[in-house]
Amino acid sequence: MKIAVTSEGSTLEAAVDPRFGRCKYFIVVDTDTGAFEAVDNVQNLNAAQGAGIQSAETVVNQGAEAVLTGHCGPKAFRTLSTGEVKIYVGVEGTVREAVEAFKAGKLQASENADVEGHW
Amino acid sequence: MKIAIASGKGGTGKTTVATCLAQVLAETGLRVRYLDCDVEEPNGHLFLHPEIYESKPVTVPVPEVDREKCVGCGLCAKICQYAAIACVKKKVVTFPELCHGCGGCARVCPAGAIREVGRGIGVAETGRSCKIDFAQGCLRVGEAMSPSLIRQVRDIPTGAELDIIDAPPGTSCPAITAIRGADFVLLVTEPTPFGLNDLALALDMVRELDIPRAVVVNRHEDENLSARKFCSERHVQIAAEIPDDRRVAEAYSQGLLPVIALPEYRPYFLDLWANVNKLATGTPGKEPA
Amino acid sequence: MKEIIIISGKGGTGKTSLTGAFAALAENPVLADCDVDAADLHLILKPKILETHDFSGGKQARIEPDKCTGCATCEEVCRFGAIRRIPAKDDISPPFFAVDPVACEGCGVCAWFCIPKAVQFEDALNGHWFVSETRFGCLVHAKLGVAEENSGKLVTLVRNRAKQIAKERNCPYLLVDGSPGIGCPVIASLTGADLVVIVTEPTVSGEHDLARVADLAKHFGIPVAVCVNKADINPGMADRIRVNAEARGLSFAGTVPYDKAVTAAQVAQLTIVEHDRGELGKAVRKVWERVTALADGKDTK
């Protein structure tokens, strides 16, 4: 399956970006093959409003079934849930470590947004 | 006639000038209405103590999607500039708090699946305070769409001869919305570096809107001529200078109108009104730039 | 790094003067002026501008006159009264249409529906933002163009850049001069901050607006400290504000007396603590000590 990890850089060694809507990159990883692609999120990083919503649309359009990130606000959460994407918050370390933790079943999907909406 | 009382900087005495002017003119027999368009922080009621006759919820139109009819084409999400509507996996999600009410989504929907419904953003109230007609808008806390509410308060019909609009401070959307359509703008300032810096910005805004204007210098001190110098350099008339007086600040702090607590202040506002009339009829917005 | 936002609800309570004083008292701060409608902090900090950036607050519609066929679709679809009808000179030809840039909300509906595609929908240049150096530390600030709007986005931009600099330079405090009111710009100024300092005054308006802005901070889950400026104008009310604030679970950061030295400091282009070594300066220092204790989580009273 495909999963998206919010990232501060474009490689698997980059740190997980704690922000969802305004993260620098999404690293979209195929957990079966290990192949990955970095998706630049600069447009949403600088959005006036609704960065979380638009980032959520990006993730869904990439075909990801799960998102690993630091925090996720209510609007992004709703959009991701509607797009049938599972959300894992509180993820830290590098992208590679996050993916490994996910594959090992160490992460637990969130039921709700964990932060207030930001602008 | 509609006069807007505005200021670049907050706390210069905009509400004091607006309410005192309303009070002294109402006493002369003029039918005056005071409109509080500072909907984020409406304070006029604290001084005029109006009896409110009517309180109407104010709404902005936001989309409601009929999931039965929706074909999941995503055009609504594409036209929306405010991220108030998203489309994922052919399903539409709406975020009414981000909606500006442009109506684009309903118009673009090929399936007729979007209907617009009202979302409350605050209230518009009308009433009376002795001889003054009173209207105000009050924005719900946590709400960002103040221009819509201001527009609706500003446009409440009236039988008054004079509308005195208490505009929000600043030079952005809310201030412009309140001032738009006024026949004359009074910019209230104080003779301090902050006050004059913000007056310069407010003057530019009113020039851009091309509305006749004059300045009211509040907390004036005879030995401080900075505001006079500024106004003469910027070719804008001073319609009144209200002296700096701790007693005014103290009356204000208790919610008393200075013209009632300190009747010797009444002539300042009568003169102000005479000057506005002279300027409004004499040189309609045509002083040299 | 702790981010402290100074707001007031009501204007003219001395928010910017206090922010300036905090800038002088804080060790190695980064400063952000988010009161972009009436940015005054630069008047006392005298920044030396290092970087200037264009600011585009959003898109704006513009009608190309030679492509306009005068069909009036734009006028019909615009909800904001931003389309101006310009009658043809000969009374026979159809009218032309133009966009009023001040009234335009940037929704793009006219551009979408324009039949001859005469509406250009492009990024507007609304102002500039700057990174500067001051005698206390780095300042991020902005200036909007005449009658320009959209300060919510600009506030976010200024804050984000300031935050980034504070992290890079390892600065312990980011001080933000917030916007007035309770609307879009102030919401943008305070979401996600560590502490909001509300500067109020003991007047009926000050008390009224404090309640609204405190509700707003609560709505976004941010801790609040209340400071009463010009407290001696009405000592009874100043005390009532303190009692009510504490009853509502807000912290109280102290009081500052009414003093003409505040204006004198402005005229001298100095902060109040640089200008006044007396009671006023002392009171401000005390407030700052309490604010840092609260921001650092050392005081949970």
Domain stops at, among C123, C151, C168: C123
Smallest Cβ–Cβ distance between A116 and the set C157, C188, C220 belongs to: C220
Chain A residues inside the 8 Å CB shell of C221:
116
For chain B, which chains pass the contact test of at least 3 CB pairs under 8 Å?
A, C
Order of strands, sheet of C30-33, starting from the edge strand that comes earlier in the sequence: C48-55, C127-133, C138-144, C30-33, C173-177, C2-7, C195-200, C224-228, C251-255
Is residue B287 predicted with pLDDT exceeding 60?
Answer: no
- Domain range for C106 is 59-123
| pLDDT at C188 (0 to 100) | 79
Report pLDDT digits (tens) over A71-115.
898 999 999 999 999 999 999 999 999 999 999 999 999 998 877
Note the pLDDT of residue C56.
86
Q: Note the CATH architecture for domain B60-120.
A: 2-Layer Sandwich (3.30)
Q: B182 pLDDT exceeds 60?
A: yes
**In the 8-state DSSP scheme, what is residue C95?**
P
Least confident range of B70-74, C23-27, C215-219: C215-219
C197 and C82 share one domain = no
Strands B184-189 vs B213-220: parallel, antiparallel or unpaired: parallel
Residue C297 region by backbone torsions, left for phi larger than 0, else alpha for psi between -120 and 50, else beta:
left
Same domain for C217 and C200: yes
**C279 pLDDT higher than 70:** yes
Residues of C whose CB is below 8 A from B253: 201-204, 206, 233-234, 237
pLDDT at C183 over 80: no
Give the integer Cα–Cα distance in Å for B183 and A26.
Answer: 53
Residue B60: pLDDT over 70: yes
Same domain, C33 and C169: yes
* Same domain flag for C111 and C222: no
Nearest CA in chain B to C109: B104
Confidence bin at C58 (pLDDT 50/70/90): confident
Looking at C73, C108, C123, the residue that finishes a domain is C123
Q: What is the pLDDT of residues C80-119, one digit of tens each?
A: 999 999 998 887 888 999 999 888 889 999 999 999 999 9
Assess whether C65 and C92 both reside in one domain: yes
Go through the domains of chain A in sequence order and give each one's CATH number: 2-103 (3.30.420.130)
Q: List all residues 6 or more positions away from A76 whose beta carbon is below 8 Å from its beta carbon.
A: A20, A21, A52, A53, A55, A56, A113
CA distance, residue A23 to nearest chain B CA (Å): 17
Chain B partners within 8 Å of C230 (Cβ): 249
Do C31 and C74 lie in one domain? The reply is no
Instruction: Look at residue C183 and tell me if it is in a domain.
Output: yes
Quickly tell me which residue has 């704006």 as its tokens: C60
> Looking at the structure, do residues C110 and C134 belong to the same domain, yes or no?
no
Same domain, C115 and C202: no
C4 residue type, one letter: I
Q: Look at residue B122 and tell me whether its pLDDT is greater than 60.
A: yes
Contact in structure between C27 and C215 (CB atoms under 8 Å): no
- Is the model's pLDDT at B289 over the cut of 50? no
Grouping H, G, I as helix, E, B as strand and the rest as coil, residue C177 is: strand
Does the CA dihedral C202-C203-C207-C209 come out positive or negative?
negative
Q: How far is B209 from chain A (nearest CA, A)?
A: 26
pLDDT at C283: 96
Identify the burial level of C75 via C-beta atoms within 10 angstroms of its C-beta, where 0-12 means exposed, 13-18 middle and 19 or more buried: middle
Check CB contact under 8 Å for B169 and C11: yes
The answer to whether B93 contacts A79, with C-beta atoms less than 8 Å apart, is yes
Judge if C234 and C260 occupy the same domain. yes
Domain B2-58+121-282 sits in CATH at: 3.40.50.300
3-state secondary structure chain A: CEEEEEECCCCCCCEECCCCCCCCEEEEEECCCCCEEEEECHHHHCCCCCHHHHHHHHHHHCCCCEEECCCCCHHHHHHHHHCCCEEECCCCCEHHHHHHHHHCCCCCCCCCCCCCCCC
Question: Are C133 and C243 in a shared domain?
Answer: yes
Q: Is A83 on the interface with B (CB under 8 A)?
A: yes
Across residues B256-279, what is the average pLDDT? 96
Q: What is the CATH number of the domain that holds C89?
A: 3.30.70.20
Least confident of A48-52, B196-200, B260-264: A48-52
Share of chain B above pLDDT 90, in %: 87
Domain end, chosen from C81, C103, C123, is at C123
Is B98's CB within 8 Å of A78's CB?
A: no
Residue positions counted in chain B: 289
Cα end-to-end distance, chain C, whole Å: 22
Residue pairs between chains B and C whose CB atoms are closer than 8 Å: 186
Give the pLDDT confidence score for residue A114 in this predicted structure. Answer: 79
- Supply the pLDDT for residue C149: 65
Average pLDDT, chain C: 92
CA C235, C241, C244, C249 torsion: positive or negative?
Answer: negative
CATH 3.30.70.20 placement within chain B? 60-120
* Count of domains forming chain C: 2
pLDDT of residue B288: 41
Query: What average pLDDT does the segment B16-24 reach?
Result: 97
**Which residues on chain B are in Cβ contact (under 8 Å) with A80?**
88
Contact across the interface for A56 and B86, Cβ inside 8 Å: yes
Any chain C CB within 8 A of the CB of B59? no
Q: Is C93 found in the same domain as C36?
A: no
Q: Which ipTM did the prediction report?
A: 0.88
